[in-house]
Amino acid sequence: MILAIETSCDDTCAAVLDGEGELLSNIISSQAELHDRYGGVVPEVASRQHLHLINTVIDETLSEADVALDEITLIAATEGPGLIGALLIGISTAKSLAAARKLPFVAVDHMLGHIAANFLLDDPVEPPFLCLVASGGHTLIAAVEDRSRYEVLGQSLDDAAGEAFDKGARMLGLPYPGGAELDRLAITGDPERFDFPVSMSGSDSLDFSYSGLKTSLVYKARDMGPEEVRRCRADLAASYQDAICAQLVSKSKKAIEQTGYSKLAVGGGVAANSVLRRQMNDLAEELGVRLFVPPIELCTDNAAMIASAARYLEEVPYPEYLDFDAFARK
Ligand code: KG4
Ligand code: ZN
């Protein structure tokens, strides 16, 4: 019986997963409203809010799972990458709980967690497979040969796809976090109205780049002026979103073609995007590969995916984990 904690950014999350891999509870307390007025996550505010919420979120997840703390046999927490202060709240809480009960502990890489969301599906993905992980801080394509590890085949050289969504949304006057808002606004827009560059599309590299796209939106908005931007907001959102997704899809296609994997999975907050989900479906059909897509609540940050990853990692017995630390980046 695993209790997992995830606090790498601005969601305070705890989940309980049983020995058969069945998810008993998955509590996510979003701080989005708190950060909205600043237009993005303020790390110090996030840390303090995690500290404020963490015990309540753990109590809630145990109670929803109808499991007593005494029944928990393994504690897991995200160790990184993420906001260091935020991570420290989660990992310190998890280590304290584990140490007080002399339970084993597992520290989980956040990106492996996003991949492991695909092990929670009714029909879970079995390695080997490729996984596109696109979140607010990272964009990468991983080869997964074994449930406990992944190899990065390509990654963003500058901004992450989620960052491109969030910054674009902010330029269009949408509230934070912008990705989901932009997704909603784009539904009524014309994705072919504006041309945005799709970086790196000509090369065989599996790396991504999003800073040029963001800059091109800045220039377009400047040339159009605020009144016209407001009038064309939905078309701008749809065209910009299409350019973000085009790169994710084309690199996934290249990765499948270069590696010959027959299964493709997705993960991370951007995998909640409606256009990306549809286009990845089309891609899988075109290439004749099987596609695995977690439900939206398992794409954005959650502790269920951390518990899922922990099932396949080596448990560290008490007290060997007491000096485990969080890390902001690898
Ligand atoms: O994985 P995640 O929840 O947190 C990180 O690990 O960063 O990803 C958050 C990112 C944010 O940039 C957010 O705007 C984006 O995922 N996101 C979306 C959607 N839902 C969340 N981006 C596009 N469309 C969405 N529906
Ligand atoms: Zn994440």
Atom of ligand 1 nearest to the CA of 162: 12
Nearest CA to ligand 1 atom 10: 136
**What is the Å distance from ligand 2's center to 111 Cα?**
7
Per-residue pLDDT reduced to its tens digit, 232-264: 999 999 999 999 999 999 999 999 999 999 999
- 71-83 pLDDT tens trace: 999 999 999 999 9
- pLDDT tops 90 at residue 205: yes
What is the whole-number distance in angstroms between the Cα of residue 26 and the centre of ligand 1? 18
Q: Measure the CA–CA gap between 33 and 180, rounded to whole angstroms.
A: 14
CA distance 106 to 95: 9
What pLDDT was estimated at residue 2? 98
Token reading at 217? 């939106």
**Helix 84-100 with 43-65: angle, nearest 10 deg:** 40
Beta bridge partners of 290: 263
What's the pLDDT score for residue 79?
Answer: 98
* pLDDT band at residue 281 using 50, 70 and 90 as cut-offs: very high
**In the prediction, which pLDDT does 201 show?**
73
Nearest CA to ligand 1 atom 21: 269
Q: pTM score, two decimals?
A: 0.98
Residue nearest to atom 20 of ligand 1 (CA): 180
| Ligand 1 close to Cβ of residue 301 (< 6 A) | yes
Give 176's pLDDT tier (boundaries 50, 70, 90).
Answer: confident
Rounded to the nearest angstrom, the distance between the alpha carbon of 300 and the centre of ligand 2 is 6
**Nearest Cα to Cα of residue 263 among 150, 167, 155, 144:** 144
What's the mean pLDDT in 33-47?
A: 92
Read off the pLDDT of residues 112-141 as tens digits, 9 standing for 90 and up.
999 999 999 999 999 999 999 999 999 999
Question: Per-residue DSSP letters for 153-214?
Answer: EEEBSSS-HHHHHHHHHHHTTPPSSHHHHHHHHHTTS-TTSS----TTTTSS---B--HHHH
CA distance 34 to 30: 9
